[in-house]
Amino acid sequence: MDPTDPNSLARGLIACAVAVGALFALSTARALSAEAPTVAAIEITPVPDPRRAALVEIAPARDPRRAALIDYLSERYRRAADEIEAIVDGARAAGEAMDVDPLLILAVMAVESSLNPAARSAFGARGLMQIVPRFHRDKLAEHGGERAVLDPRVNALVGTRILKDYMHRTGSLRAGLQRYAGWQDDPEHRYARKVLAEKQRLSGVVSRSPGDQYEKAS
């Protein structure tokens, strides 16, 4: 660069200005990149799926006593396990609703119908607990009418309600069972003894597995 040449001096000043500007821009970019987080540094927390959490909460654990009861009844009465499962759960629901031992309810079902939800008698009794619809229309009306008697859960609930009412009227479990079967004049209480013997067998089945949700005071 010729210091006596004004054009040469101007070009030199411009070149210096450009160089200084470039250095300033580079310094600024580095400072900004040091302060700002990179994409990799941003921590993304996944949002939990409430449906999955609900499934975990409502998924029931396998109950050994329930399973043992289902296996025993399925084999003894030669009925499908899924059908017996629904009957066992229906007896439990009816027992909880009426404060009656579910094993007693299952024992009555076993004696009355051999756990056949479609069982019918010549006298007109129907379902698991052999309810005679014409005698209990008021109770069945609460569940849609007489046709509901063949619904296993309705049959269990209404039958348990009838049994509890007879137990209350007679003042004892044995007398209530005899009244339920229409054998109240039998001094030997044969029906009651048969039901209670079946209940004792069921108690033995569940007592061999941990848990206590199917046994309660009669």
Residue 111 placed within a domain: yes
Cα 121 from Cα 159, distance rounded (Å)? 15
For the chain, what percent of residues have pLDDT higher than 90?
Answer: 58
Q: Is residue 69 part of a domain?
A: yes
Instruction: Give the residue with greater pLDDT, 188 vs 8.
Output: 188
Asked if residue 170 and residue 103 are part of one domain, the reply reads yes
> Where a domain ends, among 59, 76, 93?
59
pLDDT category at 146 given cuts 50, 70, 90 is confident
The burial of 113, by beta-carbon neighbours within 10 Å (0-12 exposed, 13-18 middle, 19 or more buried), is given as: buried
Q: Give the number of domains in the chain.
A: 2
109 and 199 both lie in a single domain: yes
Stretch 132-146: mean pLDDT, rounded? 90
Exposure string over 168-182, b if 16+ CB within 10 A, otherwise e: eebeebebbbbbbbe
Q: Which of 70, 170, 181, 78 is nearest to 125 (CA)?
A: 181
What are 10-23's pLDDT values in tens digits?
Answer: 455 455 544 545 44
Please say if the pLDDT value at position 9 is more than 50.
Answer: no
- Last residue within a domain, chosen from 59, 85, 100: 59
End-to-end CA separation in angstroms for the chain:
115
Say if residue 66's pLDDT is above 70: yes
pLDDT digits (tens, 9 = 90+) for 176-197: 999 999 999 999 999 999 999 9
CA distance 181 to 2: 129
- Provide DSSP, 107-157: HHHHHHHTT-TT-B-TTS-BTTTTB-GGG-HHHHHTTTSGGGGGSHHHHHH
Tell whether the model's pLDDT for residue 48 goes beyond 50: no
**155/56: higher pLDDT:** 155
What pLDDT does residue 11 have? 55
Q: What is the mean pLDDT of the chain?
A: 79
Place of tokens 């821009």: 25
- What is the phi/psi pair of residue 134, to 5°? -65, -20
In this structure, are 158 and 198 located in the same domain?
A: yes
Residues 159 and 128 grouped into a single domain:
yes
Q: With H, G, I as helix, E, B as strand and everything else as coil, classify residue 36.
A: coil
| CATH code assigned at 183 | 1.10.530.10
Q: How confident is the model over 34-55, as a mean pLDDT?
A: 43
Same domain, residue pair 97 and 75? yes
Q: Quick one: average pLDDT of 103-126?
A: 96
Which residue segment(s) compose the domain that 35 sits in?
1-59
Q: Does residue 8 sit in the same domain as residue 85?
A: no
Query: How high is the pLDDT of residue 63?
Result: 83
Can you give the pLDDT at residue 1? Answer: 52
